[in-house]
Amino acid sequence: MAGKIGVTIAPTSFSLLAGDTVAVTATLRNLGQTVDQFTVSIDGLDPSWYTLPVASVALFPNDQDSLKINLHPPKTGIKAGPYRFRVNVASRENPAEAATVDLTLQVGALPEMGLEISPATITGRKGVYRVLVTNPGDAEIRLDFKASDARGNLRFSLRPESLKVPANGRTEVALEARLNWLAFFGGKKELDFQVQASVPGAEEGRTVNGQLIRVPWWEPLTRLRIPWLVRPPAISSFKASTEDRREFKLTWSVRRAAEVTLDGERVEPQGERAVRPAEARNYVLAASNKYGSASQTVAVQPLATPKAKVSDKIRASLMPTGLKVTAGAVPAMATLQLQNLSEIVDKFTVEVEGLDETWYSRSASSVALMPQASGQAQITFQPPKRKGVRAGTYPFAVTVHSQSVAGESASIVGQLEILPQVEFKVAVRPYRVSSRRKGSFRVNLANTSVSDASFVLDATDLDEGLRFQFKEDNPAVSAWNSADVPMLARPKRGSTVGEKKRYDITVTARAEDGKTQSTNCEFHHNPFMTSWRPVLRVVRALIVIGIIVALVYFILHWGGGWSTLTKSPQTWANNLVNTFKGWFSK
């Protein structure tokens, strides 16, 4: 040690596990006669193993100070055993002046082990887990176990809390996690915790994470099943209806369902839906609640879509293939051109597929042709205007069959479009309503056309003395159907008092295309009273009667009362006279 520098470090030997940290305190003293600054350095250790928070200290003569040296060997890439190193303290004023201290660092390697928890997650108010520990090393290790959670919501019980794991062995610890009383109440929540396994005396070790999912405290109550209340959903009805086998209407009704789905799409418990499937398919209605589920399937079989077909012996064409027509109006015509490509005389029959027979007519049902000869036939399309015929596109096929060659045919695909049109009738039922307060009517909208339509309803009266209210302001009615819309008529002025009066009402319905229809009805208002005069007369009579009764009462009282009058009328009369005299003598 140099004569001007004093260095003291105690103890000179330290033990720790790889990855831990130990703080070494070095005390420096200036033994010289001048102010000096001393620098500290370390030899024999990897620079990553230590940290010098303060590398130099300035001291007055005979003054001393302390500085820290933090030793922290890494967790990995290190061998267990002693590591010797030296702490050097040198004077900055005279670098030849230096002092050294030899130290020993005993490093113990972290034990190799595997740590798992099973199961990783438990749902409930408490959970029992197994902590599995494996020791792949060649030496026995002793471990301490500790469980904790960041928020302190859980209580833990470990059995055992400390154990020995043999070399190349495996063992387990039972862990029970329970909710603290403060965390008992509340809804569903995920509570994470950590289990640590470490050698005795070490602050760090291996950790594994677990989870307890808290269920709401009221959930056990939901599991109580009262027989007359535990009822699964029931599908009252589920059916498909159609008029033309192109558009199908699905209707359903479900009871006691928390969720209802139609082909996976959520729907209301009661409802209907129009579908136009391209091919045969099944529709599935499913209902469920917490007590069970139910499902039902409906199969629909639409008309097959016509397909084109080519023949080597028949050449057929149709002009035009796309036709537009108004139901019940001017027909549309198409020309079928045929050519016999065979070497024999043949007769060909003409058929139209995909359309109702009443929708079309043919100029000829068959055509006879010589070899390589051509011919034609006219097809007239005129869908009738009747229930079941709806606006839309209808694919069809014109098929030509050979009578000489069995199975030989050719088909041309076309499309018939029925144009939309709106026609309707409006009526009010009943025609005449008599009431003291309000009149209730039903406006009947009958859609007599091939298109769905929505309407705007309005009502007026000649005197403009009524207010009208419709349950639906814009009702929609599908083709060839009708709907009743409730309507209320109320007098604008008081309905209790007034004269009897008849109101002539006009109800108007306007369709989307601007067409309007009107109808009439009557509301006879019969108020409770025609005038307030009778009431006033009664009130006036009651007032007069009250005054008379009061006068009679007081006159009897002034004479001495009814008993005096009945016992001695003279005495009663004298008392009455004396009372009057007393008033005027004052």
Distances (CA, A) of 139 to 165, 167, 172: 9, 5, 18
Domains of the chain: 5-108 (2.60.40.10), 114-220 (2.60.40.2310), 234-300 (2.60.40.10), 314-418 (2.60.40.10), 424-525 (2.60.40.10), 537-585 (no CATH)
> Which residue, 321, 354, 358, 324, is CA-closest to 337?
321
pLDDT in the model for residue 1: 42
User: Beta strands of 419-452 (E only): which ranges?
Assistant: 424-429, 432-435, 439-447
Per-residue pLDDT of the chain (586 residues; tens, 9 = 90+): 457 788 888 888 888 777 778 888 888 888 888 888 888 888 888 888 888 888 888 888 888 888 888 888 887 767 777 888 888 888 888 877 888 888 888 876 666 778 899 999 998 888 999 999 988 877 788 888 999 998 888 999 999 888 888 888 889 999 999 988 777 777 888 899 999 988 776 666 788 999 999 888 777 666 666 665 668 899 999 999 987 788 888 999 999 899 999 999 999 999 988 888 888 899 999 999 988 899 999 999 988 778 899 999 999 999 999 999 999 899 999 999 999 999 999 999 999 998 888 999 999 989 999 999 999 999 999 999 988 888 989 999 999 999 988 889 999 999 999 999 999 999 999 999 998 888 999 999 999 999 989 999 999 998 888 999 999 888 999 888 899 999 999 988 766 666 788 999 999 999 988 999 999 999 998 887 666 777 788 899 999 999 999 999 888 888 888 888 888 888 888 888 888 887 876 5
pLDDT in the model for residue 408: 92
pLDDT in the model for residue 497: 62
pLDDT in the model for residue 224: 61
pLDDT in the model for residue 396: 93
pLDDT in the model for residue 259: 93
Contact 55, 29 (CB under 8 A): no
Task: State the pairing for strand pair 154-159/126-135.
Answer: unpaired
Q: Three-class SS of residue 370?
A: coil
Helix, strand, coil percent values for the chain (each to nearest 5): 10, 55, 35
Token digits of residue 220: 């056990």
Bridge partners for 208 per DSSP: 195
DSSP, res 309: B
What single-letter amino acid sits at 82? P
Distances (CA, A) of 372 to 20, 285, 365, 527, 564: 104, 58, 20, 90, 140
CB atoms within 10 A of CB 329: 12
Asked whether the whole model's pTM tops 0.75, one would answer no
Q: Which residue has the tokens 């009107």?
A: 518
What single-letter amino acid sits at 163? L
The string of pLDDT tens digits covering residues 443-474 is: 999 999 999 899 999 999 988 889 999 998 88
Contact 511, 424 (CB under 8 A): yes
pLDDT in the model for residue 500: 83
The string of pLDDT tens digits covering residues 230-246 is: 688 999 999 999 877 88
Contact 140, 48 (CB under 8 A): no
Distances (CA, A) of 466 to 415, 439, 498: 52, 10, 14
Sign of CA dihedral 220, 222, 226, 227: negative
> Which residue, 497, 501, 494, is CA-closest to 461?
501
* Burial grade of 31 (CB within 10 A; 0-12, 13-18, 19 or more): middle
Order of strands across the sheet that contains 189-198: 121-123, 206-214, 189-198, 141-148, 162-165
DSSP, res 182: G
Q: Distance between CA 202 and CA 19 in Å, rounded?
A: 10
Contact 373, 435 (CB under 8 A): no
pLDDT in the model for residue 109: 61
Tell me the CB-side half-sphere exposure of residue 402, using CA atoms within 13 A: 25
Rounded to 5 degrees, what are φ and ψ at 358? -80, -5
Q: Distance between CA 314 and CA 192 in Å, rounded?
A: 80
Q: Distance between CA 475 and CA 446 in Å, rounded?
A: 12
Q: What would you measure as the largest C-alpha separation in the chain, in angstroms?
A: 154
Contact 481, 454 (CB under 8 A): no
Q: Distance between CA 51 and CA 56 in Å, rounded?
A: 13
Rounded to 5 degrees, what are φ and ψ at 243? -110, -25
Contact 86, 7 (CB under 8 A): no
